[in-house]
Amino acid sequence: MTTTVEATYENGVLKLQSRLPLPEKTHVKVTIQSEALPGQDAERRAWLRLSEEALTATWANSDDDVFDELLPR
């Protein structure tokens, strides 16, 4: 079962905003997806730009045009 809930991290503890429909002592796995900290968005955009440039250089080349001729139309 997968459930997504909102929580707040306070003094080393995740505090859920609502109760979960789980029996006491149920073992769960927690995945953390936090909002970006100041400055992280700029760094992420820079990495995405570099990745896009690298992929474009790899895929957008005239050497692969020969394969267009082999594809059935």
Q: Where are the domains of the chain?
A: 37-73
Strands 7-10 and 13-16, sheet pairing: antiparallel
Report pLDDT for 10: 93
Amino acid at 52: E
Query: Token match 């789980």: residue?
Result: 22
Cα 64 to chain centroid distance, Å, stands at: 30
pLDDT tens column, 2-43: 888 889 999 999 999 988 889 999 999 988 877 766 667 788
